[in-house]
Amino acid sequence: MKNSAKILSLSFIVLVATVLFSCKKDNNNDGTHKVKFKAETSSDAKLSSVVYTSETGEATTNSSVNSSSFASAELTIPSSIPAISFGATGIGNSAGSTLKVQIWVDGNLVKENISTGTTLSATSTYSF
C-alpha cells in the first residue's frame, strides 16, 4: 500500500512538472503576428503567380513571378484578421514536378501543402 501511494505521488509530480514545462511562453503581447509566405518548386518547374493575405486583410497578387521560389516580406498581421491564406500556381515539366507552399507565423512553420504534376496549384489557410 505504501509503495502504491509513493508511485501515485511520484506520477502526479511528474505529470505536473510535464504540464508546467511544456507550456510555451507567449511573447506576443501586442496582438499581432509576424507572417511570412514561401513557395518553392522542384528544379524542373517555375512559379507563375502567388496570392497571399496582406497586412490589411486584402489579397495581394503577384502574377509574374517566373522563378523557382518566392518569399514575401515579413508581414505584421493584426489580431483583427482571424485567418490568412497563401496560394501559388506554376508549370512543371514532368509528372514528378512539385510546388510547395508554406505559411510561417512568428518564426514557426504552421502550414504546408505540396502539389505534383505539370499543372501546379497549391494553397494553405491558417486561422489564428
pTM for this one? 0.76
Q: What is the spatial distance between Cα 110 and Cα 93, in angstroms, rounded to a whole number?
A: 29
pLDDT digits (tens, 9 = 90+) for 2-39: 554 454 444 445 444 444 343 444 445 578 999 999 99
Q: Where are the domains of the chain?
A: 32-127
* pLDDT score at 41: 97
Q: What is the spatial distance between Cα 37 and Cα 113, in angstroms, rounded to a whole number?
A: 12
* pLDDT score at 30: 72
pLDDT digits (tens, 9 = 90+) for 83-127: 999 999 999 999 999 999 999 999 999 999 999 999 999 999 999
Contact 37, 71 (CB under 8 A): yes
Pick the CATH number of 32-127 from 3.30.70, 3.90.120, 2.60.40, 1.10.12: 2.60.40
